[in-house]
Structure 1
Amino acid sequence: MSLPGRVSWRRCGVGLILASLVTVLAFETQSEDEISLVIGEPYEAMRKRSSAAIGPAIPGHSWFNTPKSDARLRFTDPQYGFITPLARFFTVSFTDELVRSVRLSPQIEPLLLEDTLRVVLELQEQWHNAGWVPIRVEQDPPFADTPQWRAQLRDVNKGGTSYWQAGNQYQVMLVVNRFKDIKRPTEERYLIKLALARPWVKP
């Protein structure tokens, strides 16, 4: 016959293990959530293809929706495709039930400078490998891990912007700025912003 305390402890241990497994599974499921799209396609096709839940388009309107969970963007163009890290801020705009543009911050919290550079450089490498070309490089050169870029990003009045273009089909704007994180007031934290649409600025 087992002692009552021992039985309770075993039950408690099993409960903790189950709770941990549920937490891990929930995290893994969430981490796989993605919005899968290409600019100009029917909005409903994007919803059916995506593993992250997102509301429907409004017929006859220009508006936007946000995913119902953190999600990564998977841009599915067969030539120019790329994928982002998980994003907490994420909007998909539509006009006449067609995907018009995407705006997101490919992070779930403000990042340290090292992590910020890692994210933007990995994105730029994906674009370069897929045939995207940096544009407006005299005014807004691509990001790089250099002392000059680090100093510029640390300047709260400067930050950085880079534009990339895929043929005559798509454009991306990538922006990085310092961010005052009230949860970590003594740390340098940064926000990344990404906008994707048909070309809207001249190369």
Structure 2
Amino acid sequence: MSFYCKGWRRRLCFILLVLAALFTLSWVMQALLDEPEIALIYGEPWEDMRQRSSALIPPAIPGRYAFHIPKSDARLRFIDPEYGFVTPLARFFTISFDNERVASIHMSPQIEPLLLDDALKVVLDLQNQWREQGWFVINPESDPPLADTPQWRAQLRDINKGGRTFWQAGDKYYIMLDIGRFKDSRHPDEERYLITLEVARPWVIRDE
């Protein structure tokens, strides 16, 4: 019995090999093009987050409260059936763990300081996601949501002010969103901005 492909069998073998190569190449290219992400459920076992995420992050330390940083730029996919959202890629990104479970998140949802127009796009997209998912502004009078208005732009350009707002999802999650001027040595003649985002359990009292 011959193990060589002959005639139509040879052509079939060739076609199958080409298809297998194309499938492998497509899979590799997709993996390279996809943005690494940390996909987490707040309070879940740390190892579950590691297995679900495409970005690498070290294992938790048993019996410790500490934090880890992903080994590459990564976006946050905050998984919740009601309140989920996704951020842009982040370079500064820390996730705390407590008793080997996901605790608070502290990040800057950008990979470099941004121009004001670009920073506002990021902030407004995040706020729109939260609003659509049922989050509410905790203190709308004292800390209203950020907006692209002349008043907000003037405040953000003031290095001593910046902007900050607080959001809450039911009684489950709390977010502090902050944006302010940032001196970027690579762009000394430009106004650059840094966004910071913190996710934790609720603790801020809502205005009546």
So what's the TM-score if we normalise by structure 2? Answer: 0.83
Unaligned runs of 5+ in 1: 1-24
Contact 1:131 1:166 in 2 (8 A): yes
Query: Structure 2 matches for 1:97-176, cutoff 5 A?
Result: 97-176=100-179
Amino acid in structure 2 at the alignment position of 1:135: I
What percent identity do the matched residue pairs reach?
Answer: 63
Query: Structure 2 matches for 1:46-85, cutoff 5 A?
Result: 46-85=49-88
Query: Is the partner of 2:179 in helix, strand or coil?
Result: strand
Query: Is the partner of 2:127 in helix, strand or coil?
Result: helix
Amino acid in structure 2 at the alignment position of 1:91: T
Contact 1:31 1:86 in 2 (8 A): no
CA drift at 1:197: 1.1
Q: Distance in 2 between matches of 1:73 and 1:92?
A: 10
CA drift at 1:31: 4.9
CA drift at 1:27: 10
Q: Distance in 2 between matches of 1:100 and 1:55?
A: 15
Structure 1 stretches of 4+ with a deviation exceeding 6 A read 25-28
Contact 1:30 1:69 in 2 (8 A): no
**Which string of whole-angstrom CA distances, capped at 9 and with x for unpartnered residues, describes residues 115-156 of structure 1?**
000000000000000000111121111000000000000000
How many residues align? The count is: 180
CA drift at 1:200: 2.4
Q: Which residue does the alignment assign to 1:45?
A: 48
Q: Which residue does the alignment assign to 2:91?
A: 88
Unaligned runs of 5+ in 2: 1-27
CA 1:182–1:31: 2 relative to 1, 3 Å: farther
Query: Which of these two proteins has the greater Rg computed from alpha carbons?
Result: 2
CA 1:47–1:156: 2 relative to 1, 3 Å: same
Contact 1:54 1:66 in 2 (8 A): yes
**Which string of whole-angstrom CA distances, capped at 9 and with x for unpartnered residues, describes residues 160-194 of structure 1?**
00111000000111000100111111000000000
Q: Distance in 2 between matches of 1:69 and 1:88?
A: 7
